Chain A
């Protein structure tokens, strides 16, 4: 393992154990990022040529792998971030490093087995054996039940690592306090997704507890902690300001996001009051994201963009703006029930999902990884910079915007034709899918998807090379 880490990240011999564990998680995360893109591409191509791998790897499997790889790599990225900042925040190396490593191997091993089962066995008979050992068939959390318990066990190990280290240090910074509370909520919520009921209304009710309260509440707060910590390191923003903002973020994220859960309860059989509650609170969900933009831009302005880590700074901007547009604006577009009645279950949601996950979570992970790269390869500075990260940065943004735009057009067309003019039936669906406004965007999406995949390799190349050259001749100037 050490050899792989040294090859990918650089000389790690002097790193504390916690940071080594972080690098282990991030290495797997970057590989899974590639897997996510690969299966996304296959799925995108199947929209255009439905015969492609039709009997070998049908769309439901490629799509499942696409979204599951995403969930897992983002979580692994966050876990890496937590381990990375732990020694800096507590002044101590992680307590129980050996256990932490075992946790990493358990999680990675479980993911590998689950992926192999998805690929080779795919689906089973309609019984509990399938639920426990093949796949549970609930979007985003399809992983079979045994793996669910494995994930809970690993989360327990990680939580122990963080808590024990904080206790040993006898000091809880505001960042760590929020992190400790948020991790309990995050792990606890996963338990809500681990049972079977024939009642599909109740099933989806609890399923959204996991999916929404992760993505639109606890993950957002976790990202607030990680980005706050990143701002302190990239721009040297004072802790007092970071923590004040973080509390405001928590107030706004939980204040709007918890009852904002109601926007998933419009049409699943739950009572009508969710239309009003969900509509009201989820409309306010962009508020914390506006606050994050103000914070990031203000901080960068105060420091006149002076930084020692240019890629990290720019990915911070991407995070702030991407989160605001992807989660905030794109989410707001179809969150009111009066619109959602027609747009629910169309490519509008795919458009929103792509931009939101990219902006809010992919960018966060890349910020942290670049901070680590600087820490390892250019600790004395003067500055971490390269040409290739800029190519990857611009390229990924352009290709993501392309995919999101294409899906948005398709989603609008579906909303009008299939749902408003049509009667939302099987045949309405087919006729709409064949309409040029849905059909052509699928080609655009594939094209921009291929482009995104290429820039992923540029990104990986940059991560492998940036800062390895002695950068002494580079002068420090505003980015």
Chain B
């Protein structure tokens, strides 16, 4: 049997109600002891449910799983398409290759690169201006699918006189103050080239995570036309 959200919800509520009723049998509901027992039962049932769900979630979100793909996806072309069966937008990986910085990365190299990228992102407190997977601050754009942002190719490649999208991204990350496109400029956070490349790889990898359709219809804008 496939266990979904409804089964979990009904089961936890049912268990709380029944176990609580058994433990408080014969007690007046105005007696604090009645509520104490219900509080212990309710909290325990919910916490145990959370632990079980945590194990399940962690097993489904390992790097290399269907939802959180292997870092070698940075060797492939990435897209974001509506999945009519799921009812939401999903990343599409490959099948054609699209190398990053003209190089094919092995599993190990790719892993080292995104690990470095994540460290750089944390060390510069990116989350205190941007959001990643929608979490962070609201002073700058969300980066969840930033790799797929049309602005890189349409504006930043010519602006930085680059040949490829990733080259433009590296230049922008190293000198954001120089290539600003708006009065609210990103500060120069002193990234060296190695760090900037790692961040680009991380962003490409992050765009392949199945985020249940967030952000909806990314890149299909009726507001902005290039």
Partners in one complex: yes
**A residues lining the B interface (CB < 8 Å):** 43, 46-47, 50-51, 54-55, 58-61, 63-64, 123-128, 130-131, 134-139, 142, 174, 196-205, 240, 243-244, 247-248, 250-251, 254-255, 258-259, 261, 264-277, 280-281, 341-342, 344-347, 349-350, 414, 417-433
Selected A-B contacts with CB under 8 Å, 13 pairs:
A123-B190, A126-B120, A196-B119, A201-B133, A244-B35, A247-B32, A248-B39, A251-B35, A258-B49, A277-B8, A350-B138, A419-B215, A425-B150
Distance between A354 CB and nearest chain B CB, rounded to angstroms: 12
Note all chain B residues with C-beta closer than 8 A to A127: 119, 123
CA distance A123 to B8 in the complex (A): 43
CA distance A126 to B198 in the complex (A): 10
Q: A126 to B123, Cβ gap below 8 A?
A: yes
Given A59-B129, A174-B36, A244-B30, A198 contacting B5 (CB threshold 8 A) = no
B62 interface contact, C-beta 8 A: yes
Note all chain B residues with C-beta closer than 8 A to A54: 185, 187
Q: B136 to A342, Cβ gap below 8 A?
A: no
Q: B132 to A421, Cβ gap below 8 A?
A: no
CA distance A349 to B123 in the complex (A): 24
Q: B125 to A142, Cβ gap below 8 A?
A: yes
Given A277-B8, A345-B136, A240 contacting B49 (CB threshold 8 A) = no
Q: Closest 9 CB pairs between A and B?
A: A276-B5, A126-B120, A137-B122, A267-B214, A423-B221, A247-B35, A424-B215, A422-B223, A60-B128
Give the one of B3, B131, B226 with max A CB within 10 A.
B131
B22 interface contact, C-beta 8 A: no
Note all chain A residues with C-beta closer than 8 A to B190: 123
Query: Quick one: closest A residue to B224, CB to CB?
Result: A427
Query: Quick one: closest B residue to A57, CB to CB?
Result: B187
CA distance A17 to B3 in the complex (A): 54
B19 interface contact, C-beta 8 A: no
Pick out which of these stretches binds chain A: B53-61, B98-106, B160-168.
B53-61
Which residues of B in the span 111-135 have a Cβ within 8 Å of any Cβ on A?
111, 114-129, 131-135
CA distance A329 to B130 in the complex (A): 26
Q: B221 to A261, Cβ gap below 8 A?
A: no
Note all chain A residues with C-beta closer than 8 A to B3: 273
Note all chain A residues with C-beta closer than 8 A to B212: 266-267, 272, 275
Given A174-B36, A247-B38, A423-B224, A345 contacting B8 (CB threshold 8 A) = no
Distance between A58 CB and nearest chain B CB, rounded to angstroms: 4
B63 interface contact, C-beta 8 A: yes
CA distance A258 to B42 in the complex (A): 10
Given A50-B183, A423-B224, A344 contacting B134 (CB threshold 8 A) = yes
CA distance A54 to B139 in the complex (A): 13
Note all chain A residues with C-beta closer than 8 A to B217: 423-424
Q: Which one, B67, B126, B198, contacts A137 given CB within 8 A?
A: B126
**B residues lining the A interface (CB < 8 Å):** 3-6, 8-9, 12, 16, 30-32, 35-36, 38-39, 42-43, 46-47, 49-50, 53-54, 56-58, 60-63, 67-68, 111, 114-129, 131-142, 144-146, 149-151, 155, 181-185, 187-190, 195, 198, 202, 206, 209-224, 226
Q: B53 to A277, Cβ gap below 8 A?
A: yes
Q: A276 to B9, Cβ gap below 8 A?
A: yes
Note all chain B residues with C-beta closer than 8 A to A417: 223
CA distance A420 to B63 in the complex (A): 31
Q: Which one, A61, A272, A342, A426, contacts B125 given CB within 8 A?
A: A61
Note all chain B residues with C-beta closer than 8 A to A270: 57, 60-61, 67
Q: B216 to A341, Cβ gap below 8 A?
A: yes
Query: Quick one: closest B residue to A208, CB to CB?
Result: B135
Note all chain A residues with C-beta closer than 8 A to B114: 198
Q: B135 to A139, Cβ gap below 8 A?
A: yes
Query: Quick one: closest B residue to A68, CB to CB?
Result: B128
Q: A423 to B123, Cβ gap below 8 A?
A: no
Q: B127 to A427, Cβ gap below 8 A?
A: no
Given A248-B35, A424-B215, A425-B141, A258 contacting B123 (CB threshold 8 A) = no
Note all chain B residues with C-beta closer than 8 A to A247: 32, 35-36, 38-39
Q: B219 to A423, Cβ gap below 8 A?
A: yes
Note all chain B residues with C-beta closer than 8 A to A138: 122, 127
Given A63-B128, A128-B119, A142-B125, A204 contacting B135 (CB threshold 8 A) = yes
Q: A433 to B128, Cβ gap below 8 A?
A: no
